[in-house]
Amino acid sequence: MSDTPELDLEHEAAKVPPRVKAEILSEALPFIRKFHGKTIVIKYGGNAMTDPALQQDFAEDVVLLKLVGLNPVVVHGGGPQIDEALAKIGKKGTFIQGMRVTDEETMEVVEWVLGGEVQGDIVGLINHAGGKAVGLTGRDGGMIRARKLMLPDRDDPSKLHDIGQVGEITQIDPSVVRALQDDQFIPVVAPIGFGENNETYNINADLVAGKLAEVLKAEKLVLLTNIKGVLDKNGELLTKLTAKRIDELFADGTISGGMMPKISSALDAARAGVNAVHIIDGRVPHCLLLEILTEKGVGTMIRSH
């Protein structure tokens, strides 16, 4: 990774007058006080995961949140990296309704990409930024138990699609995550679960983040995306949504395609007691700090009512 983004950052910071810096810090103070000791589950994906400058911003944000007393837990995907690895072995990814079809060979690739390469990079970035990250998969500490997911057809729910070793979560035991948090570590979780016969399952990272936020009784669930947030039919950002409004947006087709699992898991988490769910634009530098520690966020906030 080049030093250029870091130098640019220092250069930009030097141009900010001290009074403005003080205002920024004082604006963050009430939020730091309010969320001190609270768990924040962050789904890390999209451009924020592949752009080197944004990777560095993300790592710095996570470390800063930990240092000021919040408890971040990172759940990551890795779709583009999986596609890249599959292409190297001459295999093309197949999707049904936005879900990756995962045969045995694909599952092996998913496991070493998510639990190895991608996770190692994230752990390294956070540690380099001054944090203490630890990588986990759902197997560690028996964290994520799953069963085979049969996907109902969008047009005919009585018809089910077999998408291979894709799982739905049956149980999450968060004790390994809690133990790491108590020890000042930052858990980084790959969305891989295991079944009752020790088989491995690929699980949608948004769903893992949502369920983990529920069982950890997180204050916030933050989902990084490649769009501004939830948009209306005119492409305008909807900054605040309730469960009722989301049901309306599903019904009229405003929310569809790849956003559906993301919004569904966000809504489930909000209904299960997560105080606020944020869908934010991961392409904005330091989007996490802006969303959590300032008055004006950078995405859509969802509450249950």
- DSSP structural state of residue 22: H
CA-nearest of 223, 222, 221, 249 to 236 is 249
Q: Is the dihedral of CA 210, 97, 298, 180 positive or negative?
A: positive
State how far the Cα of 52 lies from the Cα of 214, in Å rounded to an integer: 31
Judge whether 124 is annotated as a binding position.
Answer: no
| b/e per residue 170-188 (b: at least 16 CB within 10 A) | eebebebbbebbeeebbbb
Judge whether 79 is annotated as a binding position.
Answer: yes
Phi-psi region of 223 (alpha: psi -120 to 50; beta: other; left: phi over 0): beta
Alpha helix stretches (DSSP H) within 129-239: 175-182, 205-215
- Give residue for tokens 């009585």: 158
Q: Angle between the 79-88 and 104-112 helix axes, to the nearest 10 degrees?
A: 120
Judge whether 71 is annotated as a binding position.
Answer: no
State how far the Cα of 148 lies from the Cα of 44, in Å rounded to an integer: 24
Phi-psi region of 20 (alpha: psi -120 to 50; beta: other; left: phi over 0): alpha
Sequence ranges of the binding site: 78-79, 100, 202
Sequence ranges of the binding site for substrate: 78-79, 100, 202
